[in-house]
Amino acid sequence: MICLSVILVVSTVFSCAAKPVFAATLSKIPDEATAITLDGKTVSIADHRGKLIFLTVWRTDCKTCLLEIPLLNRLQKEYSSEDFTVIGLSVDRGKNEFVSRVVEKRYISYPVWLSDGQPLSRYTRTQYLPTLFAIGPEGEIL
C-alpha cells in the first residue's frame, strides 16, 4: 500500500492536477454516474465496488496524459488482482474510434471509458489533465 501511496503522489505532482469539481461537494460518486466502454457498454464506478480505483481523466492530445500511461499500465499489471483497478476516463469529444486506436497503439491494459455526454462527466470536470482520482471500495472519494 505504501508503494501505491508513493505512486499516487508522484502521479499527482506529475499531472499538476487541480482539485476536481465533485470532490468539493460530494463524498461519493453516485451509482447513476455512468460512462460507456469502447465497445458501447454502459458502466459505472459501482461495477467495481470493493476495489480501490484510480480513475485517471485524460485526453488523447494531452502529452502528459500519454506520458502517464506506462505507469498506469504497470499499476494495473502489478495490483489488479489485489482489489485494485485503474480506469481511464477519456474526455475526448466525438473521437471514440480515435480513442480506440490510441488504446491499441499505446498498449493500454486497463479499462478505458468514454465520458462524452455521459452522466459520469458531470462529476469529473477538472481544470487540468491528466487528473487522477482515488476512489475507495464503497465509491467514496479519497
DSSP secondary structure letters along 17-77: PPPPTGGGT-SB--TT-EEEETTS-EEEGGGGTTSEEEEEEE-TT-HHHHHHHHHHHHHHH
pLDDT tens by residue, the chain, 142 residues: 545 544 544 454 444 444 455 445 668 888 899 999 999 999 999 999 999 999 999 999 999 999 999 999 999 999 987 899 999 999 999 888 999 999 999 999 999 999 988 988 888 888 899 999 999 999 998 9
